[in-house]
Structure formats: C-alpha cells, structure tokens
Amino acid sequence: MAMNLLAKARAYEEEYGRLISDLERPSYHISPTVGWLNDPNGFSYYDGKYHLFYQYNPYSTQWDTMHWGHLVSEDLLHWKRLPAALAPDQEYDCAGVFSGSGLMAPDGRHLLMYTGVQIVDRPDGGREDRQVQCLAFGDGTDYVKYENNPVITPEMLPEGGSTVDFRDPKIFRDEEEGCYYAVVGSCTREEGGNVALFRSRDIFHWEFVSILDRSEQRYGYMWECPDYFRIDDTDIILISPMKLSAEGLEFHCGNNAAYLTGNYDREKHTFERKGIFSLDYGIDFYAPQTMTAPDGRRIMIAWMQTPETRHSQPAGIKWFGQLTVPRELTVKEGRLLQRPIRELEACRRGRVFYRDVLLNGHAGLAGLKGRCVDMTLRVRPAGRSLYRLFSVRIAADDRHYTSISYRPGDSMLSFDRSFSGLNHYIVSDRDVHVGYREGEIKIRILIDRFSVEAFVNDGEQALTFTIYTPQEADGIFFETDGAALLDVEKYDMVL
C-alpha cells in the first residue's frame, strides 16, 4: 500500500501537471504542480538547496486527503518541481499527511516532521480525527517514513489537551543545548488555542516541555502552524489562530495569521508575551512558515489564501492555491518588518521611472501597465495643504480594477478587490491604520497574474490578496482628491 499511493500521486501529477501551461499559472509565485495547494511545509536548506513542500491534493482543486508536494531551488526564485514527497499511506496518517517542517537530521539525511491524521471511533459511537506527530527521512527527493512513528502523541500533552486538534510541528535545533525542540499547535476546551513545546536529544524520543502561550479564549479556539524564532533580542512566535473575533482593525473575524512578541526564558521554558499583532492586513494570508537562509536571514513564506476563501475559484482552473513571495523578516521597535526577498530584484526588467509627478484628479502615465509587476510608489503633499485621498488602481480596464487607497487625514490605507472579476460573495475590502509621516507614504506593490502583495513604508505592514481579474485588464491609474506629488519606479517581472 505504501508505495502505491505515492506512486499514484506521482504518476498523476506527471501526466496532468504538464497540461497546465506557464501562462495559466502565476509567473513568480508558487502554485501546485496540479490540483490543490495550501500551507507551505518543510521549508529548509538541505544539501546546498532550498526545499519547499506544500499541502497538496493533486487530484482536484479542492482540499482533500493531504499529500506533500515538493519544490527545490538554489535562489528562492527559480523553483524546480520534484515528485510528490509524502502520501497518506500509513494507518496513522491515512486521513492526511498534514503540515510540518524540515531540517537536516543528525545523520545527514533530510528530516521531515509532520502531522499524521487518522479517523478513529469515539466512545459515544461517533468518529473523530486523531492527530500525531511523525518523522520521514530522505535524500532530497525520496522520503521514507520512520518505522516507529508516531514520535509525539496527544497523550503527552498535559491533561485537557486535544487529541483532535494537535498538529503542525515546527522543529528547530538549539545549538547551545545540542538538542531539538518542536512547537506544535494545540488547544484545550477551557482556554482555546495554544503552542506546546516538546524537546528531544536524538529526534526520535520526545518529551513535553511546556505550553509557551495560549489564547485564553480571546485569540481563537485553535492555534495552527506555530513557529518560533529569535531576531536580535526579540523572541517571536507565529500562530494561525482559527475563528477569531475581530479586534479593531488589527484582526478580522475568522482565521488570521498573527505574531506574538516577547521573552522566551530558556531555563524555565516560559514565554512572556509583550504584544500580539496581525502578520498581514490583507485577505489571503495564512499558515506562514519560516527558515534561516545560509546567510542568516529569517525568511517567511505563507499560503496566499485562507480556509474561508478556498471555494472562491474561477471556473475551469486546473490548479488552485498559491504561496506568497518569500519575505525577509527583521525587527524594528518591537514589530516585524517584512520585505520581499532581495533575490526578486534579479527578475526586474524594463524600468519605468517618474519623479515629482503632480497629481490632481485622474491620471495614467505612459509605460505604466502590466500584470507581472514590481512597482514602488512614493506619495507626498504638493505644497502645504494635505491631499485628502490618493488611490492607485491596478489590473484595470473599463470593467475591472483593484484599488489601494490612502487617506492621510486619518492615516488609513484601504484596498478593494470588489471589481476583480470574482463572482463569489466574499470579503473584498479591508482598512488598516498605517504610520503617519506628514502625508507621505511609500508602497511597494507586487502584482502577479492572480495576486497582489503590498508592502507599506518599507515593510511596516503587508497586505496580501488574490485577484482573478482577466489578464487583459492590465491598466494602472491614479486618482487623488487634492494635489499630491508622486514618484513611481516600476519594473516588469520576468522569471
């Protein structure tokens, strides 16, 4: 059975993946070989290459029994598709090979740690998931599951730990201690989501250490896809909390992606939280995962969709689900900054540059159009009076546009994709407060065929959303209420 499911998935993606032309896909964002993609998994550097796996159902564009798809790259930019890495072919993972992480094992093999899901009988006669943490080892292409899986079971959690919601191990090595830790997403009925910490000396035998942080019924009932890392002197935990209630403009209702800042006490294994913030103020961003590049950069990548928008698919699409561009993370004044990886700049072609363009009303500029674009806008008041509104419309034609608008009077940035061609009744607009700089704002916008990622004021905030506007809609226009000066630097992205 073991070989069959993986061999079947590999044969399927080989046969049907080739039927999808490059033009039907995003140009510089990752999409599945065929079928469905969700969370990034196993993001790691192994044997001189970046490896990136993803939650994968090759057989349809809907979420179903999860496999792991696989890509490899030397520069985080050009990705080569490899055959599917894991299939749900064991008793303990037959209902899905859920999310997890990757690392080089002590013996030099590539180690994947993932959640195995099985459906079991409940004492009351019902059926429910049972989620356990498992290992697989490989050479960078082929992986074999560990014969003594699972290595972490929910019974190792303190009393009240869920056997149903216990998933997404992120493994990391503590060089000083010479051991391994894994953070795992979990929850209790009383407190909601939490992050559980486990430790191992040899990666095979694990012990529960502590609960690092918890929702206390304020930030969602379950925390998925946790990650932990330290940048400068700040400890950061990433979480994907499920079913949050909106809080101001920071969190929206439903599934969010958030980060916790604070201090991790390495002796007591406690985390003292200082802040909790949204990771992305757009609509389609979930389940991020990070890795450390060989040069020390902390790089994050995320699923560019959320569970809520998973059914809003254009008719006839042969793939569904994209990943964001990899983003470099740094910390400034206790907050994360996110910038697209610098490697992306190698794709820039055909520079168009304008300085000090006086805008007052509606304007288009020669050379500004495109659906695979990296464009930076700098806007500021023209003279002493403050403009009331600046707006850029992208992916525009006479029926469609997607807009990003800034109102300096109340430091509000808004985007709206209502006219991007999707005919589903889904959330299409969002507002976010941005830092006030005397009416100045800088926005870097990455447009790909099916998405927009905006980075505000050098990465202080990011907003990500998908668009399925017809590709012919490639106009870029500006609109102001009041006079403003604009600098534009725009490149076509050619991979």
Catalog residues that contact ligand DQQ under the rule CB under 6 A: 38-39, 55, 66, 98-99, 115, 167-168, 224-225, 286-287
Q: For 128-153, b where at least 16 C-beta lie within 10 A, e where not — what string?
A: ebbbbbbbbbbebeebebbeebbbbe
CB of 116 to ligand DQQ, least distance (A): 10
CB of 114 to ligand DQQ, least distance (A): 8
By Cβ distance, which residue is nearest to ligand DQQ?
Answer: 98
CB of 185 to ligand DQQ, least distance (A): 6
Residues 6+ apart with CB under 8 A from 87: 5, 6, 8, 9, 67, 97
Q: What is the CA radius of gyration of the chain?
A: 23
Residues forming a β-bridge with 156: none
Distance CA 81, CA 379 (A): 40
CB of 41 to ligand DQQ, least distance (A): 8
DSSP codes joined into one string, 75-111? SSSSEEEEEEEE-S-SGGGTTEEEEEEEEE-TTSSEE
DSSP codes joined into one string, 141-203? S-EEE-TT--SB-GGGSPTTB-SSS-EEEEEEEETTTTEEEEEEEEEETTTEEEEEEEEESSS
Q: How far is CA 311 from the centre of its chain?
A: 18
Return the closest-CA partner of residue 453 out of 442, 461, 463.
463
Strands of the sheet containing 206-214, edge to edge, are: 167-174, 179-188, 192-200, 206-214
CB of 431 to ligand DQQ, least distance (A): 25
Task: Give the residue with the Cβ less far from ligand DQQ, 88 or 326.
Answer: 88
Determine contact, residues 35/58, Cβ cutoff 8 Å: yes
Determine contact, residues 400/473, Cβ cutoff 8 Å: yes
Ranges of beta strands (E only) in 244-388 are: 258-265, 270-278, 286-292, 298-303, 319-320, 327-332, 335-340, 348-359, 362-369, 373-381
Q: What is the residue whose two structure tokens read 């992050």?
A: 195
Return the closest-CA partner of residue 449 out of 372, 340, 345.
372
Task: Give the residue with the Cβ less far from ligand DQQ, 168 or 492.
Answer: 168
Return the closest-CA partner of residue 450 out of 432, 430, 465.
465
Long-range residue pairs from 198-202, CB within 8 A, at least 24 positions apart, any chain: 198/133, 198/152, 198/156, 198/169, 200/151, 202/106
**3-state secondary structure (DSSP) of residue 383:** coil
CB of 377 to ligand DQQ, least distance (A): 32
Task: Give the residue with the Cβ less far from ligand DQQ, 36 or 390.
Answer: 36
Residues 6+ apart with CB under 8 A from 307: 242, 254, 255, 286
* Residue numbers annotated as active site: 39
Determine contact, residues 382/358, Cβ cutoff 8 Å: yes
Q: How far is CA 477 from the centre of its chain?
A: 29
Residues 6+ apart with CB under 8 A from 147: none
CB of 33 to ligand DQQ, least distance (A): 17
Task: Give the residue with the Cβ less far from ligand DQQ, 63 or 419.
Answer: 63
Residues 6+ apart with CB under 8 A from 22: none
